[in-house]
Amino acid sequence: MKVKVKAPDKWMEGWDKLYRKMLEEEDLTELEGLHVHYPIQQLFWFIKLDEDEEAGELKAVELACGDGRVACYLAQKGYTVEAVDALPSAVTLTQKRAMQLNLSHRVKVTLGDIDTWKIEPSSYDLVVALQCLQYLFERTMPRLQELLKSVKPKGFFVYSGNILPHEPTEKPIRFITEEELKDALEGWTIHSIGTNVVRRSAESTRGYLFAVAQKQLL
Ligand SMILES: C[S@@+](CC[C@H](N)C(=O)[O-])C[C@H]1O[C@@H](n2cnc3c(N)ncnc32)[C@H](O)[C@@H]1O
C-alpha cells in the first residue's frame, strides 16, 4: 500500500532505496550510528528512569521511524514504542530489527502519515520527531504544536531537523529555526538545544538543530 504524503516522491524514493538496502543486511542488531540520533543519547542523561519503574509503563511515539534504530533503542530502554512511517520498507525494517532484538512486544509499527496520525493530547511520556517535521511544509508548525500537546506533564520531546546552511531543494524544506523552536517550547524546561553544521560532500553542507525538552507540570 502506498501512503501519499507531502514530501516529493523523489525524496521518498531515496529513503526507500536506503531502507531496502538495509533490509538485505542479515544482522540488524547494531543500534549505534547516525549523528542525527545524538539527542536520543542525550535524552538519557536527563531522564532518571526509576529503578522500580515497571517495564513497559512508559509510552513513546516516534514519528517517521525510518530505519527503526531509534524505536528499538527506546524499547531497549524500557519504553513501549509506537512508531509510524509512510514507507512500507521502513515499517518492515523496523519490525525486522525489533524481532532480531526480541523487542517486538514493545515496538508497534504502523504505516501512515505523520501528519494525520491520530495523536491525543497528554498521551505520551516521550514524543520523538527526528528529521521529519520539516517535510510537512505548511503543516510543520501546526503539527509541532499538536505534538507538544500530546506530551504528558513531565514527559519529554526530542527533536531534530535541518536548518541553513542547506542546498536549495526543489520544494523548499520548511526549516524550523532555533528561535521558532524556543518560542514553541515556552514554559518547558529545555535540557539541551544546539546546532551543528556537517559537510556531507563537496556540494552539500547541512545545518542541524537539536533539542531535548521536558514539559513542566501545569
Ligand atoms: C530523513 S528520514 C528520517 C528518518 C528517521 N527519523 C531518522 O532520523 O533516522 C525521513 C523519514 O520521514 C518519512 N516521512 C516523510 N514524510 C512523511 C510523512 N508525511 N508521514 C510519514 N513518514 C514520512 C520518510 O519515509 C523517512 O523515513
In a domain, residue 1? The reply is no
- The answer to whether the CB of 5 is under 6 A from ligand 1 is yes
Q: What is the pLDDT of residue 100?
A: 98
Q: Whose CA is nearest to atom 8 of ligand 1?
A: 130
Q: What is the pLDDT of residue 17?
A: 98
In a domain, residue 206? The reply is yes
Q: What is the pLDDT of residue 36?
A: 64
In a domain, residue 165? The reply is yes
The answer for residues whose C-beta is within 8 angstroms of residue 29's C-beta and 6 or more apart is: 97, 100, 101
C-alpha cell at position 11: 525524496
* Choice from 61, 81, 132 to test ligand 1 binding pocket (greatest atom count within 8 A of CB): 132
Closest atom of ligand 1 to 69 CA is 9
Closest atom of ligand 1 to 114 CA is 20
In a domain, residue 50? The reply is no
In a domain, residue 30? The reply is no
What's the CATH code of the domain at 87? 3.40.50.150
C-alpha cell at position 29: 542488531
In whole angstroms, what is the distance from residue 178 CA to residue 163 CA? 8
In a domain, residue 48? The reply is no
Instruction: Please report the beta strands in the chain, taking only residues with DSSP state E, as ranges in sequence order.
Output: 58-63, 79-85, 107-111, 124-130, 151-163, 189-199, 205-214
Q: Whose CA is nearest to atom 10 of ligand 1?
A: 132
pTM: 0.96
Number of structural domains in the chain: 1
What's the gap in Å between 141 CA and the centre of ligand 1? 16
- Burial label for 120, CB within 10 Å (0-12, 13-18, 19+), is exposed
In a domain, residue 3? The reply is no
In a domain, residue 204? The reply is yes
| Residue range(s) defining the domain that contains residue 68 | 9-21+35-43+55-214
pLDDT tens over the chain, length 218 residues: 789 999 999 999 999 999 999 999 999 999 887 666 889 989 988 887 655 555 558 999 999 999 999 999 999 999 999 999 999 999 999 999 999 999 999 999 999 999 999 999 999 999 999 999 999 999 999 999 999 999 999 999 999 999 999 999 999 999 999 999 999 999 999 999 999 999 989 889 999 999 999 999 76
Q: Whose CA is nearest to atom 26 of ligand 1?
A: 66
The rounded radius of gyration (Å) of the Cα atoms in the chain is 17
